[in-house]
Amino acid sequence: MIELKEVSRVYDLDATPVHALRGIDLKVMSGEYIAIMGTSGSGKSTLMHILGCLDRPSSGKYSLNGEQVQNYSQDELAAIRNKTIGFVFQQFNLLPRMTALDNVMLPLIYARGSVRASKEEQLPRAQNALRLVGLGDRMNHRPNQLSGGQQQRVSIARALVNNPKILLADEPTGALDSQTSKEIMTLLEELFTQGITVILVTHDNDIASYARRVVRLKDGVIISDSLNNR
Amino acid sequence: MSVWELVVLAWQGIVANRMRSSLTVLGIVIGIAAVIALLAIGYGAKLESERQIQALGLNLIFIRPGAQSAGHVSMGMGSSVGLTMSDVEAIREVCPAVAEVAPGYDSTQQVQFAGQNTSTNISGTVPEYTTIRNFHPESGRFITQQDMDHSTRVCVLGQTVVDNLFAPGENPVGKKVLIRGEFFDIVGVMERKGVTAFRDMDDQIFVPLSTAYNRIFGFNSVKGKTVQYILVQAKSEEETLPAQFQITNLLRLRHHIHSPNPDDFYLRTQKDLLQTSEAMSSVFTLLLGSTAGISLLVGGIGIMNIMLVSVTERTREIGIRKAVGASHRDILMQFVVEATVLSLTGGIVGILLGIGSSYAINYFTSWKTEVTPLSVIMSFTVSILVGLFFGIYPARQASKLDPIVALRAE
Ligand SMILES: Nc1ncnc2c1ncn2[C@@H]1O[C@H](COP(=O)(O)OP(=O)(O)OP(=O)(O)O)[C@@H](O)[C@H]1O
Ligand SMILES: [Mg+2]
């Protein structure tokens, strides 16, 4: 489903280029649950951005569902972000002026072509997504009227509303306390059991223990890739 | 995202930033309102002067002595004989296209009634004057042929003179006024005509031309009585050009002017005046157009400025929208539509304000205003175009943002 080959990412700020990723090879099968770990600055977020088609590799190949996406245009990548991959950020990244429901509607509004839900379908789908994450009673609240955990649920609902097969989460519990983190992890576990491929980044071993496979990064290189024995 | 969704989105953004939005569109509002109101004044004035000119009939011809120079200023008055009463008679008898002829001689004189004093224009004229100028007495009568034949001391007052000399409600007809030391019987009062494009028609006293020569102006030329002007009415509008031709030929013959010497008199028709008035109003419109253009340019730059600020402020929002799948075009459209809705809102407010002020001007001043539908449609279109034009650059800046870079913005 996902296959990275020799992927590297170089940020060339100033005179000294930063090699955030160096020759990453990674294969992810459909229905996997992967945790990516590593020290700060090891390249986890960079890797997630490339996986999530928010960024493109400087070199190497990225095959997603058989498509070579490394050379896709910005708009083609936008379409993938919209329908194929859901992305959850550490900082939630909700639009502050909009209600939870409107935030969840966004991917529906930007959907194109055959995946676009009709007008009448959009609202119930967004409502369903919010119910799925347990926020059926908070639909018309704005982000600043919601707790951190609830905001992260909204952002998960938004990631799921177009029924993607892959959910990427960059430190989804990084801004949450341990109790709330647990609830979010339970939700992700549930999604995983429904067949969604989940890849998350974490610093926390407890969080990583939810995953079935753990990939460790150091200085932009994969140093270990092992199955969790739970 | 459909355009309508974008419009709704843009409107929400504008309402959320009410204060800033209002200040942003102020330039557009004032510009559009000024254009609507000024065009309404200009158009109203144009209609009014056309109405006045046409009320006199397009078959009216003015003849004045003096060579016609570029600026319609009469030249060489001293050297030329001018126009005489015998010219008037000749025109009346010889020119077949001419219906009526009314010579005139004006002079400003001191006038008294019961201790009231005023200075006004004494117009020596003939009975035909009323027909030609379509200007009639409201009470009493006008000058008649008998008055002419007997040089009687009668006069007809304009309304302004009545206002100046008589108490309100007092009927001047039958009373006597003192003009240049002689008493004149008031036999009529003219209807109120108002100020035409050239003079206050109500501020004058009409006396028989013959009386005027005998008693007020004196004989003024060895060649006979000269007149200051001759009003001629052609038989119809179509006969105006032939009449002009006939009169010109006749007067050149009578004044012994040979080609290539220029005329020592000049003719002007109401058509000429109409054209002058039209030319003036198109200059006026052009000036307004440029003023409008400048104010809209300023307004548009204001919108562009605030849109650039908005793009910078909302970088993170743009990043989020891109992250969930907004395309280049989606973002571009969002900001273009926002700028356009902003500018159009300003335009609509400006249109309403402009219409309101032209009604107010109509109500509170003597100017007649007339809002033209064209100016409203144009303002509407222009405010859309201003938004599109000045919105496109900030929108392009927004749409070019890289999602990751944008998401990292604070
Ligand atoms: N936009 C950028 N420009 C320049 N360098 C960058 C940029 N983004 C990341 N880097 C650099 O790339 C390297 C990897 O960064 P990345 O954000 O992927 O780390 P990370 O593993 O997610 O760290 P953390 O755990 O702190 O989130 C770091 O050295 C970082 O400084
Ligand atoms: Mg990171």
Q: Is the pLDDT of residue A143 over 50?
A: yes
Mean pLDDT of chain B: 87
Tell me the residue type at B130.
T
Question: How many Cα atoms occupy the beta-carbon half-sphere of A86 within 13 Å?
Answer: 28
Q: What's the CA dihedral at B382, B384, B387, B393 to 10 degrees?
A: -100
Tokens of A164: 């993607």
Q: Is the pLDDT of residue B298 over 60?
A: yes
pLDDT in tens, B236-251: 888 999 999 999 999 9
| CB-based contact A19:A33 (threshold 8 Å) | no
How many CB atoms are closer than 10 A to CB B101? 23
pLDDT in tens, B106-116: 989 999 998 88
Picking from A54, A79, A162, the nearest residue to B403 by CB comes out as A54
Greater model confidence, B220 or A200: A200
Q: What is the pLDDT of residue A126?
A: 94
Mapped onto helix, strand or coil, the DSSP state of residue A27 is strand
pLDDT in tens, B197-209: 567 888 999 999 9
Between CA B123 and CA B184 the distance in angstroms is: 14
Residues of B in contact with A82 (CB under 8 A): 324-325
Q: How buried is A23 (Cβ within 10 angstroms: 0-12 exposed, 13-18 middle, 19+ buried)?
A: middle
Between CA B272 and CA B61 the distance in angstroms is: 10
Top mean pLDDT of A141-155, B36-50, B282-296 is at A141-155
Which stretch of B119-123, B293-297, B395-399 has the lowest confidence by average pLDDT?
B293-297
Q: How buried is B217 (Cβ within 10 angstroms: 0-12 exposed, 13-18 middle, 19+ buried)?
A: buried
Q: Is the pLDDT of residue A56 over 60?
A: yes
Q: Which residues contact A182 (CB under 8 A, 6 or more apart)?
A: none
Please provide residue B108's backbone torsions phi and psi, each rounded to the nearest 5 degrees: -85, 130
Residue to substitute from B9, B324, B327, interface A, most A β-carbons within 10 A = B324
Residues with Cβ–ion distance below 5 A, ligand 2: A 45
Task: Test B321 with A97 for CB contact under 8 angstroms.
Answer: no
Q: Is the pLDDT of residue A156 over 70?
A: yes
Q: Is the pLDDT of residue B178 over 90?
A: yes
Q: What is the pLDDT of residue B81?
A: 62
In short, whether A52's Cβ falls inside 6 Å of ligand 1 is no
Between CA B246 and CA B251 the distance in angstroms is: 9
Residues of A in contact with B322 (CB under 8 A): 78, 81
Which stretch of A100-109, B243-252, B296-305 has the lowest confidence by average pLDDT?
B296-305
DSSP classification of residue A114: G
Share of chain A above pLDDT 70, in %: 100
Which stretch of A192-201, B76-85, B143-152, B325-334 has the lowest confidence by average pLDDT?
B76-85
pLDDT in tens, B315-365: 999 999 999 999 999 999 999 999 999 999 999 999 999 999 999 998 988
Using 50, 70 and 90 to split pLDDT, how confident is the model at B74?
very low
Using 50, 70 and 90 to split pLDDT, how confident is the model at B284?
confident
Q: What is the pLDDT of residue B144?
A: 95
Q: Give the pLDDT mean for B297-302.
A: 87
Q: Which residues of B281-304 are buried (b: 16+ CB within 10 A; e: fewer)?
A: beebeeebeeebeebbeebbebbb
Between CA B179 and CA B124 the distance in angstroms is: 13
ipTM above 0.85, yes or no: yes
Residues of A in contact with B325 (CB under 8 A): 78-79, 81-83, 107, 110-111, 162
Q: Give the pLDDT mean for A57-75.
A: 94
Task: Test B327 with A107 for CB contact under 8 angstroms.
Answer: no
Q: Give the pLDDT mean for A187-215.
A: 94
| CB-based contact B190:B158 (threshold 8 Å) | yes
Mean pLDDT of chain A: 93
Q: Which residues contact B117 (CB under 8 A, 6 or more apart)?
A: B110, B111
Whether chain A has a CB inside 8 Å of the CB on B174: the answer is no
Whether chain A has a CB inside 8 Å of the CB on B404: the answer is yes
Q: Is the pLDDT of residue A130 over 50?
A: yes
Share of chain B above pLDDT 90, in %: 45
In short, whether A20's Cβ falls inside 6 Å of ligand 1 is yes
pLDDT in tens, A27-50: 999 999 999 999 999 999 999 999
Q: Is the pLDDT of residue B71 over 60?
A: no
Q: Is the pLDDT of residue A118 over 90?
A: no
- Residue where the block lists tokens 């009975």: B127
The nearest alpha carbon in chain A to B314 belongs to A95
Greater model confidence, B222 or B27: B27
Q: Is the pLDDT of residue A14 over 80?
A: no
Using 50, 70 and 90 to split pLDDT, how confident is the model at B56?
confident
Between CA A85 and CA A64 the distance in angstroms is: 10
In short, whether A8's Cβ falls inside 6 Å of ligand 1 is no
Q: What is the pLDDT of residue B82?
A: 82
Whose Cα sits closest to atom 24 in ligand 1? Answer: A40
Pairing of strands B182-190, B154-157: parallel
Picking from B317, B319, B330, the nearest residue to A110 by CB comes out as B330
Using 50, 70 and 90 to split pLDDT, how confident is the model at B70?
very low
Task: Test B325 with A54 for CB contact under 8 angstroms.
Answer: no
Between CA A87 and CA A135 the distance in angstroms is: 19
Between CA A178 and CA A176 the distance in angstroms is: 7
